[in-house]
């Protein structure tokens, strides 16, 4: 693709005001909101291609949320005790065993698990749903708007992907018809779209599925950081989420749900810790959850996830929800004022949204816009297809989009900086040149130090999720 939007690079500052502080200067942007848990990284300063430094605006919470400060502090406290669990008589091992099992209870309580539900620690939501896919004794139905984590695992067995209708009400009607027409063991749905933030009425979906004899699995990766999810109250049978989206980026996720399928399923990972006994000719497998947690578990990740749940539980329904509603409204109003910006929606009648919003900018590739926002304004958001290719093909055929996602550390200033930067782009243009580099748009040249931690730059391009720059 030939892009004629680039301008010869200059040394003038970007239109949005920036300071020339050194990278060591810090500003605590959450100090005026003590009712919300503090987030790490809000004081991070990053270089611009113009040679200046600015406070980083993180609008990519939906991809990976930064650690809560108390989560990071909790992990620091745990580290001296770090040891293998369930297999040692040493004091540190016993402490970590208790820590892991208490984390299991804490996470279960956070999602309203029933007394007989199982909490299995996994790597992330994708891992959890792949585990569940091997446990389902029958056909699976999902919608075509799902993240790949809730779309691809079911393809290993009998499955159907129903096209979501143009309204929520019609989609619910179509689900009821599809479930009545074909025997289905499991309906797998997203709690909140990772592309548009739109939320389906979970209790109504559960009622429809249960009436047809199907269980419900909820991909809560995006929903859980914004809304309390209660398995017992909603009737949801299985739930998966990721710590890295729940302000606990230490490599843990969970699958929570009914025991019978999970006890009957083959072990997710055959190995130590998943067995009761092993002989030369056979294996007696343990019951869930240990049946599916072969190998040494990620005790630090589990501890971090539990601490995040403890911190979030008191604020999700109150202060956090109000904070995010206000900023989402500010963002929507701001984007509506910028010429050529179109916000993407699945359902015009959707009654609820989390603070995730995707949009396109007329005649400008999403990757180009994202590179400009980062290089000239210190703003980080997501561009591409968001691991939801079928949905993106529906919303912007043949193209990519941009996604801004809001979290506990987001401020009104962050939202205003994004809106101002986009307005500058569409009215004045970029002040630097950009071109595809290894499949992604990048400033050319890029004078920024891209290895501030001193570990060395990679030798080749990394994996993506369908992002293109050509």
Residues that are catalytic: 387
Cβ-based neighbour number of residue 259 at 10 Å: 14
SS3 at position 64: coil
CB atoms within 10 A of CB 78: 17
**DSSP H helical segments within 79-124, as ranges?**
91-110
Token pair for 91? 């004091």
Residue 275 CA to chain centroid, in angstroms?
32
Q: For residues 415 and 324, give the distance between their C-alpha atoms in angstroms, rounded to a whole number.
A: 11
Nearest of 161, 124, 125, 169 to residue 145 by alpha carbon:
161
What's the rounded Cα separation, in Å, for the pair 101 and 443?
Answer: 48
Q: Which helix (H) or strand (E) holds 426?
A: helix 412-427
Nearest to 230 by CA among 126, 103, 150, 114: 114
Which residue, chain included where needed, has tokens 């693709």? 1
* Cβ(355)–Cβ(226) below 8 Å: yes
Q: How far apart are the first and last CA of the chain?
A: 5
DSSP 341-388: EEE--S-TT---B-SEEEEEETTB-HHHHHHHHHHHH-EE-EEE-TT-
Task: Judge contact between 296 and 252, C-beta under 8 A.
Answer: no
Structure tokens at 93: 């091992």
Taking CA atoms, 238 is separated from 132, 261, 346, 440, 447, in Å, by 9, 11, 25, 37, 48
Tokens encoding 9: 């690079």
Report which DSSP code applies to 317.
I
| Crossing angle (nearest 10°) for helices 168-181 and 202-211 | 20
Q: Distance between CA atoms of 100 and 11, rounded to whole angstroms?
A: 53
CA distance 121 to 127: 10
Q: How far apart are the C-alpha atoms of 89 and 252, rounded to whole Å?
A: 25
């Amino acid at each position: 693709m030939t892009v004629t939007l680039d301008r010869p690079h200059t040394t003038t500052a970007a239109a949005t005001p920036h300071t020339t502080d050194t990278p060591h200067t810090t500003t605590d942007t959450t100090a005026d909101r003590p009712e919300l848990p503090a987030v790490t990284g809000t004081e991070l300063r990053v270089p611009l291609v113009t040679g200046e430094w600015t406070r980083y605006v993180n609008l990519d919470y939906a991809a990976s949320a930064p650690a809560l400060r108390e989560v990071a502090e909790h992990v620091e406290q745990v580290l001296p005790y770090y040891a293998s669990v369930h297999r040692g008589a040493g004091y540190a091992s016993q402490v970590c065993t208790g820590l892991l099992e208490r984390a299991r209870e804490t996470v279960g309580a956070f999602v309203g698990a029933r007394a007989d539900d199982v909490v299995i620690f996994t790597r992330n939501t994708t891992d959890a749903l792949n585990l569940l896919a091997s446990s389902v004794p029958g056909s699976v139905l999902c919608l075509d708007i799902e993240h790949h984590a809730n779309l691809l695992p079911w393809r290993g067995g009998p499955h159907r992907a129903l096209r979501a209708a143009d309204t929520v009400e019609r989609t619910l009607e179509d689900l009821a018809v599809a479930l009545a027409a074909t025997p289905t063991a499991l309906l797998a749905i997203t709690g909140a779209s990772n592309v548009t933030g739109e939320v389906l009425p979970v209790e109504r979906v559960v009622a429809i599925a249960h009436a047809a004899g199907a269980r419900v699995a909820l991909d809560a990766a995006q929903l859980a950081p914004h809304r309390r999810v209660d398995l017992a109250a909603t009737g949801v049978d299985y739930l998966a989420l990721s710590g890295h989206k729940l302000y606990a980026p230490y490599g843990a996720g969970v699958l929570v749900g009914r025991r019978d399928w999970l006890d009957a399923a083959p072990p997710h990972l055959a190995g130590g810790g998943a067995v009761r006994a092993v002989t030369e000719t056979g294996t007696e497998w343990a019951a869930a959850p240990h049946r599916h947690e072969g190998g040494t578990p990620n005790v630090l990740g589990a501890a971090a996830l539990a601490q995040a749940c403890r911190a979030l539980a008191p604020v999700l329904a109150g202060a956090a929800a109000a904070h995010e509603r206000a900023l989402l409204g500010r963002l929507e109003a701001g984007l509506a004022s910028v010429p050529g910006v179109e916000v993407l929606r699945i359902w015009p009648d959707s009654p609820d949204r989390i603070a995730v919003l995707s949009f396109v900018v007329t005649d400008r590739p999403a990757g180009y816009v994202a590179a400009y926002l980062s290089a000239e304004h210190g703003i980080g958001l997501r561009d591409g297809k968001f691991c939801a290719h079928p949905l993106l093909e529906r919303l912007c055929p043949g193209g990519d989009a941009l996604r801004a996602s809001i979290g506990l550390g987001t401020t009104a200033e962050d939202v205003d900086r994004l809106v101002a930067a986009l307005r500058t782009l569409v009215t004045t243009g970029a002040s630097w040149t950009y071109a595809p580099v290894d499949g992604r748009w990048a400033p050319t040249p890029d004078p920024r130090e891209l290895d501030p931690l001193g570990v060395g730059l990679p030798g080749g391009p990394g994996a993506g999720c369908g992002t293109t720059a050509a």
